[in-house]
Structure 1
Amino acid sequence: MGHQISRRTLFRTASGLAVAGALGSSLSACSGGTGAGSTSSDLTMTWWGSDDRHNAYKKALKYFQEKNPKIKIRETYSGYEGYFDKFNTNVAGGSAPDLLQMDTALVAQYARKGVLAPLDTYVGKSLDLTGFSKTLLAAGTVDGKLYGVPSGIGVNQLTVNRSGLEKLGLKLPDREWTWADLKKIAQQVYKKSSGKIYGVDDGGGSTLQCFEIFAREKGETFFSDDGKKLGFTPDTLQEWWEYWAEMRKTHASPPPAITSAAHNDLTKNAVVIGKALFTFDSGVYGAGGSITDAQLDFLPTPQGDWSGAREGNFVNGGVLLSATKASKKVADSVKIMDFFAQDETAIKDMQLYRGIPPTEKARNLIASGLTETDKLNMANADYISQRVSKATNALPAPVPPPQGADQIWDLLFQSNLAVAFGKKSIKAQLGEFFDQAPGILSA
């Protein structure tokens, strides 16, 4: 996917996190070795994605090489599965690519292990980041240095089966909606469908699209700034699980069997199989298109409806382009980053295949060629981005996930299921969660 990091993407990313940790010592040991660019006259570039993303990259890079004949690019690409396993192997063996597509969830770990090259000395010179907001650039910034150029605006949003809502005589909620509004319309969906359709998939175990926003609305973060502990309180998680327990009880959300079956299997998502009309899983619609025939629309994650609630939404960087520190072609890699960031031909070639473009200039360039659903998606991302930038009570963008984040995310998901299946009370599961989490983060 390009424009969001969904729960599905995060758990695919988990394998990369685990391998990055397992190879920590070897990555550090080899970080000063010879990169692939050093042993070849070609600049090596790698990325993951769908066939559409592959074709868009190849088309844009062909144009780049026509304009820069001295830079020869050797391209490699694949799906996400195994991408970082291969990258880790190449780094450890001294054959890392010169330029790569990097995951925002992993950039901090690779930067701190000395694998990635800092880009700050190029900014304002050969790397033009005009139009990129500071909030967006934070997605590629680690310990005050820039290690990756964001490809686009990543936002947390709900994907909505709008045509399904309309068939039930219901209207799409206003973008300035709250958690209470979500509960109300989700209950209406169940009632209007005579119990055939639930309102929204169970978000009690969903991290980025759901709980992290809720915690931020309480003025709390998911992880502490140093990544060594949780940033939210037991009271906040208890309130969260109580909300979703009520959602299940009133049939606003589906039973746990549906939630469990959809874990890591997007084809079983409640919206995709017609069992719900709202989902927090952004993978239902992404750079590869939609996996449902329903007319989709998009909404921000709901706002807090209590006194003193803060803006919980934030903007992240989609995917990044990063250079490896061992490469002798960092300057040339930066020219390619600049090309994708600012060149009109590259922007038009990439469309939404790396996410919603990061600048207003880029978004305006591609707007006329988008499908109706693409336009709705981009409009919602624009809306969230503008709202966040104007908010005076928003927390800073989250820090990159620490080592062990994948285990914490899975613990949250499984804990919510344990409550939903009636295996544990909320109080008992809270105790277990906060007993286990510190050990995971300190390991």
Structure 2
Amino acid sequence: MRITRKAAGAAAAAVTVALTLTACGGAADSAEPGSAEKVSTDEDITISLAWWGEPARAEMYEEAVDLFEEEHPNITVQTQFQDWDAYWTARATEAAGGALPDVIQMDLSYLRQYGATGQLLDLGGQVGVNLDTAGVDDSLLGSGQIDGSQFGVPTSTNTLSLFYNADALEKIGVEPLAEGYTWDDLNAWMEKVSKAGAGEDPVIYSGADYTGTFWFFLQWLVQQGVTPFTDDGQLGFDEAQMTEWLNKGQSLRDAEAFYPIKQAKQLEPLGGFHVNESASEASWDNFLAGYVAESGQDIRMLPMPSGENGPQQFWKPSMLLSASAETEQPEAAAALIDFLINEPEVGAIFGTSKGVPAVAEQRDAMKVEPGSVDEKVVQYEEDVADVVTESAPVPVEGFGEIEAEFKRLGEELQYGNVTVDEFVTQWFSFADGAVKQS
């Protein structure tokens, strides 16, 4: 764990703690809009803020927090950040003790797990008092709601992309994929890249094992016309479909064409693509800023592979901001969230590193320059808008746990510790107990 400004206190418990919430009960009744009190400008207030990400994101948050403290001189913000896995382990530990940070960077995957179990503050009462959400599109704002309670405010949007390192490909003499490529085309290209890069020092691999990422599996399901989760909060896919998906990467695993998992674990929170040892990486489009900053290379973007019915991608809130239900300073927490989603200067600081800002004033303040990372992300989202035809899968309660288990088993598959069939059996056994019916 990395703890930054004004030492935020004791570190969270070890990473062996299960990603399970022990709090009982459900979400509180919806707060009446405008029912909160205005944040105090007289008393000294201290609140905490936590996020996941790499050091580059931390620098941006610190700069934004400095601006907030200048505007609210009586409020001190203690900050901390971790990589993705450690972040959610720490939050689960804190949630079990009713001690979540006052303001939490939240992912859609975990919103129901925390919101529906009484861990998050309903921000509805803060709207119109300390929190202005008028600039957020209603449909996007709705992604942060559960049963009428506003448990998170989206900061930005994104969609999936296949990134590639144009400099690395030129070095090894391989052309990029052409738009309209399929999953089979991707596999053939990755095998070609790994063969061409084998003689480099360090070796240049094709990319990470994409089959071990749950959101990519969901993307593929959507392309097959499958709704991943049912309206009553259950799985909408079966073992045969997951087996088919995982087997897509088996020939590449056998050929050792994927970036080695052992090296990947040693690099965390970075990856092979960050350090120019991998020629491609599938991820959310807002990752471009981090990739460019860490690699120093010419990083470009393509839509995800096409399925049987075409690309069929979806928009997803790149992240949300939530507040702890146990915060002693709900007004100050809401004021910080308001500042982070609305303040134009914050938009200029982050650019598209967290996705394209949800509020127009922040988008307008990004100072988009020709050829800049921000311009490329905005242009990418404009270019793929015609293939973003599907709704984002609505996560079930327990989504964070089943996603983490998918990732864990994906690593075990890469190490060779489990087969595809064992992966599928173990995952469905785990999901059977983790997915809570709404």
TM-score after normalising by structure 1: 0.72
Question: d(CA) in 1 for partners of 2:417 and 2:62?
Answer: 51
8 Å CA contact 1:218–1:309 kept in 2: the answer is no
* Structure 1, 164-173 or 212-221: larger mean CA deviation: 164-173
Return 5+ residue gaps in structure 1 as ranges. Answer: 1-11, 30-36
8 Å CA contact 2:23–2:118 kept in 1: the answer is no
**Residue type at the aligned position of 2:432:** P
Question: d(CA) in 2 for partners of 1:158 and 1:214?
Answer: 14
Q: 1:438 aligns with which of 429, 432, 435?
A: 432
Q: CA deviation at 1:321?
A: 1.9
Q: 2:303 aligns with which of 300, 320, 325?
A: 300
- Residue equivalent to 1:158: 162
- Residue equivalent to 1:219: 225
SS of the counterpart of 2:247?
helix
Question: d(CA) in 2 for partners of 1:422 and 1:397?
Answer: 30
Larger relative contact order (CA 8 Å, sep ≥ 6): 1
Question: d(CA) in 2 for partners of 1:434 and 1:89?
Answer: 25
**1:350-369 pair list within 5 angstroms:** 350-352=350-352, 354-368=354-368
SS of the counterpart of 2:47?
strand
Question: d(CA) in 1 for partners of 2:179 and 2:127?
Answer: 36
Would the alpha carbon gap of residues 28 and 414 (structure 1) be closer, same or farther in structure 2, given more than 3 Å must change?
A: same
Would the alpha carbon gap of residues 383 and 153 (structure 1) be closer, same or farther in structure 2, given more than 3 Å must change?
A: farther
Question: d(CA) in 1 for partners of 2:87 and 2:409?
Answer: 26
Question: d(CA) in 1 for partners of 2:172 and 2:136?
Answer: 41
**1:3-42 pair list within 5 angstroms:** 18-21=18-21, 23-25=22-24, 41-42=44-45
More helix by share: 1
8 Å CA contact 1:315–1:388 kept in 2: the answer is no
**Residue type at the aligned position of 1:303:** S
- Residue equivalent to 1:46: 49
Would the alpha carbon gap of residues 120 and 219 (structure 1) be closer, same or farther in structure 2, given more than 3 Å must change?
A: farther
8 Å CA contact 1:415–1:433 kept in 2: the answer is no
- Residue equivalent to 1:237: 242
Q: CA deviation at 1:163?
A: 1.0
* Structure 1, 270-279 or 84-93: larger mean CA deviation: 84-93
8 Å CA contact 1:159–1:297 kept in 2: the answer is yes
- Deviations 1:141-179, CA, capped at 9 Å, x for gaps: 333432111222243322311111233444433454332
- Residue equivalent to 1:342: 342
**1:188-199 pair list within 5 angstroms:** 188-190=192-194, 192-193=196-197, 197-199=204-206
Would the alpha carbon gap of residues 194 and 396 (structure 1) be closer, same or farther in structure 2, given more than 3 Å must change?
A: closer
8 Å CA contact 2:23–2:95 kept in 1: the answer is no
CA RMSD of aligned residues (A): 4.3
Instruction: Give yes or no for the alignment of 1:109 onto 2:113.
Output: yes
Question: d(CA) in 2 for partners of 1:320 and 1:117?
Answer: 13
Q: CA deviation at 1:194?
A: 7.2
Return 5+ residue gaps in structure 2 as ranges. Answer: 1-11, 29-38
Instruction: Give yes or no for the alignment of 1:413 onto 2:410.
Output: yes
Would the alpha carbon gap of residues 96 and 411 (structure 1) be closer, same or farther in structure 2, given more than 3 Å must change?
A: closer
Instruction: Give yes or no for the alignment of 1:148 onto 2:152.
Output: yes
Q: CA deviation at 1:430?
A: 4.2
- Residue equivalent to 1:280: 282
**Residue type at the aligned position of 1:189:** V
Would the alpha carbon gap of residues 137 and 442 (structure 1) be closer, same or farther in structure 2, given more than 3 Å must change?
A: closer
TM-score after normalising by structure 2: 0.73
Question: d(CA) in 2 for partners of 1:423 and 1:28?
Answer: 38
**Residue type at the aligned position of 1:397:** P
- Residue equivalent to 2:261: 259
SS of the counterpart of 1:362?
helix
Q: 1:397 aligns with which of 393, 402, 427?
A: 393
8 Å CA contact 1:152–1:358 kept in 2: the answer is yes
Q: CA deviation at 1:429?
A: 5.3
Q: CA deviation at 1:190?
A: 4.3
Question: d(CA) in 1 for partners of 2:190 and 2:101?
Answer: 48
Question: d(CA) in 2 for partners of 1:20 and 1:433?
Answer: 16
